[in-house]
Chains A and B, each alone.
Chain A
């Protein structure tokens, strides 16, 4: 149990850090909380940046996790525009970019991840953008609109969501993917094939197996993307969305174990009992899959914020959750529960041509993951089955005339 005077220092004021600060107060932590973030804004939601916000359907207020005045009212010392420079584990102190040294009783690393930059000719040109922060989204939004051509490098969820948003704003989009299919890191072949068709039917050009070798420009502004086969894709703006890397350097320099993220246990605690790591910067156990992983998602950040805050205040640990995520594109809501580890069978339920179906990834008769397109019952039921490690009959599951409630019975 944290003692009244104990100071919790949180490095990183994204979804994970902001939630941890709020939960510590909800859970009754009495001591001081300092929340340090390198962006100018108080904690906000990133998911809408490529979706509703980009299309102008959400404003800055609705992005914010809490109103600006919340932090002062809750006795949380929020320090924007500041980052951690080094961790002194023996002294239990962090040196900040301001030059200040701040002591801590508990340190929560919530430093997030950064986008992978392409190192190639022309990458520094104006209009070559990435999308991670609200400032990135602001810059991208200014470039989209009627007649604007966006070249998207990377066929992952960010790229596809931006393509859909660009079209909604009256522009056009080309998605350039190095692999032979979309969503190579984050979705199944079935889902990738479906989204490719859906985007193409709406006018997006999808190029697979296409390697970018550089950007060309005029007057310091990008005008095209150069491909390895010699093709040039003309554009007004280019978006690079080829994945993220966890910001684990501070922890690594403090001799905390890192493995594509800071290694933590189910309390989100590192090997140093005073230091936690949560969200995109962490590499954590997934008890439902008996392995370590770093799910890059908001629900993961929230779950780990709960774990860390509970451990610090001495509250019972939260029950393990099924990893999940979602994506909105056009009129499609994709909801994904679970992860496709050790899969030996794939069951499709419903009709992709009708834009309403689910793909179940199974290990024997156990569902490991469900990807549901406009199929909330399949998502919700699948998530429960994964949590309870329920065995289901794949033949029943494949038959959409049998309701998910009957499949569960």
Chain B
């Protein structure tokens, strides 16, 4: 279990507890957090679950796979700390994780 803070592009904070093994995307969708559409349900096929990982966390959330990288390459408003939240698995290590949503997903 990890407490994750999702910050929408208007600054609204949504704090939810997410079970280990779920993705950061699933934590948002299952709790009706706006801004993460996840059209493909986590198949790394759509880039509608794009988030910015707070700098303090980029090491713990790991690196994007080649597939994820190339999806992000053409997503809108990409930054160095951009990730597809469906590809970040939740574990106890991510307790306190903060992610922000891009403006394009509101």
Contacts and interface: CB of A to CB of B under 8 A. Distances in A.
Contact of A66 (B22, B32, B37, B47): B32
Question: Majority SS of interface residues in chain B?
Answer: loop
A41 interface: no
A335 B67 CA distance: 12
Interface string B57-100: 00000000001001101110000000000000000000000000
Interface stretch (A114-122, A196-204, A376-384): A376-384
Interface of B: 22, 26, 29-32, 34, 37, 39-41, 43-47, 67, 70-71, 73-75
Nearest to A326: B45
A376 B32 contact: no
A90 interface: no
B30 A376 contact: no
A62 B27 CA distance: 11
Contacts of A404: 74
6 contacts: A74-B32, A302-B39, A324-B46, A333-B44, A380-B73, A405-B73
Q: What class of interface size applies to chain A in its complex with B?
A: 20 to 34
Given A377-B70, A380-B74, A66 B43 contact: no
Contact of B67 (A47, A376, A384): A376
A58 to B, nearest CB: 9
A26 B32 contact: yes
Interface string A142-159: 000000000000000000
A380 B44 CA distance: 12
A299 B41 contact: no
Contacts of B34: 26
Given A48-B41, A376-B67, A70 B73 contact: no
B105 to A, nearest CB: 12
A299 B35 CA distance: 16
Which of B31, B44, B70: most chain A CB closer than 10 A?
A: B70
